[in-house]
Structure 1
Amino acid sequence: MVPMLLFAALSAAAPIFARASEDIWGIAPCELCLWQRWPYWVAAGLALLAALWPRGRRALGGLAILAVLASGAIAAFHMGVEYRWWPSPLAGCQAPQATPGGSVDDMLRSLAAAPSKPCDAPAYLIPGLPVSMAAMNLLFALGLSALGLILLRRGDRA
């Protein structure tokens, strides 16, 4: 039970930290940044269920690990967008384009309600360290997934 609670807490910590980085350090998220957060919430919920339902612990724990890996996959894709290896297919990831011939009122109406940034503009938490938030998420997802596997195996032996 305790290992799955730890996994749930660490899964929830990732999107909470990402949100805190917006409020504390003013790091603006892009649409892909926001997509990376959802699988962690799914993983936290599945891990909580695994802690509460011992008979389903292995299956639910495995699904929680897969959810964390899904966030890591989105982060890897996001890194490819940041390095400009490929474009993002999401419309919200594109920088706003001025339309020629439109009025200022037309341009103002076309702006998003909330400010956004293009997904190919990496956000760095630590100045001078060339590791973007997407890269940190990928590393965290891989580490948390490995920890999840260790916790599941340790639970099987107990």
Structure 2
Amino acid sequence: MTGRKLSLLAGAGSAGLLIAALGFQAAGYAPCELCILQRWPHVAAVLIAGLVWLTGWVRAFAVLGMAAAGIAMGLAIYHSGVEIGWWPGPEHCSGGLGNIGAMSASDLMARIEAAPVVRCDEVSWRFLSLSMASWNAIFSGILAVIWGLAAIRGRKTV
């Protein structure tokens, strides 16, 4: 398979992950802040694949696509670790309130009321014992490999 086709395949893979995420959201699985953050590198990868399609320049764009997929994978691994309890997540979406002993009752109430509803450290859906973040990490890693192959095989094809 040519580098250009591999780039388009990887971009389509990111588009598929985005469509799946939006489908889960439409089905009532509200995303947490880390879930939404994981989507942005996939948006970038789709745009990069579009640039490959428009320009025919594969190598430089494929390296950027590989970086985007790698960032998505890293964010997904971080989120999976937060869900499993390997490390703490961001305080504002993992239940932490900071130093509550130093807060007044009104400040504490304001922080509680401003807290997001969807927590980053709770899994809302699993398949084969893996959360959506874990699946995103796996698929993003596969997409990073595909982008890497595209960079190796790529050349200007216009």
Tell me the TM-score range normalised by the shorter chain: 0.7 to 0.9
- Residue in 1 that maps onto 2:22: 19
- Residue in 1 that maps onto 2:148: 149
Q: Secondary structure at the match of 1:111?
A: helix
**Does 1:5 pair with 2:4?**
no
Q: Distance in 2 between matches of 1:72 and 1:123?
A: 19
- Residue in 2 that maps onto 1:65: 66
Q: Distance in 2 between matches of 1:147 and 1:40?
A: 14
Please tell me the residue identity of whatever aligns with 2:51. Answer: L
Is 1:29–1:116's contact at 8 Å kept on the other side of the alignment?
A: no
Task: Quote the offset at 1:12 in angstroms.
Answer: 1.5
- Residue in 2 that maps onto 1:44: 46
Provide TM-score, normalisation by structure 1.
Answer: 0.78
- Residue in 1 that maps onto 2:75: 74
**Does 1:28 pair with 2:30?**
yes
Please tell me the residue identity of whatever aligns with 2:88. Answer: P
Q: Distance in 2 between matches of 1:132 and 1:153?
A: 32
Provide TM-score, normalisation by structure 2.
Answer: 0.78
Q: Relative contact order: is structure 1 or structure 2 higher (C-alpha 8 Å, sep ≥ 6)?
A: 2
Task: Quote the offset at 1:17 in angstroms.
Answer: 0.7
CA-to-aligned-CA distance 1:27-81 (integer Å, 9 cap, x gap): 2211101100000000111111122112x32011110111011000000011111
Task: Quote the offset at 1:125 in angstroms.
Answer: 4.1
Task: Quote the offset at 1:154 in angstroms.
Answer: 4.0
Give the gaps of 5 or more residues in structure 2. Answer: none
Is 2:70–2:144's contact at 8 Å kept on the other side of the alignment?
A: yes
Give the gaps of 5 or more residues in structure 1. Answer: none
Task: Quote the offset at 1:94 in angstroms.
Answer: 2.9
CA-to-aligned-CA distance 1:108-128 (integer Å, 9 cap, x gap): 896359x631111013243xx
Is 1:95–1:117's contact at 8 Å kept on the other side of the alignment?
A: no
Q: Distance in 2 between matches of 1:120 and 1:13?
A: 25
Q: Distance in 1 between matches of 2:114 and 2:21?
A: 21
Is 2:70–2:140's contact at 8 Å kept on the other side of the alignment?
A: yes
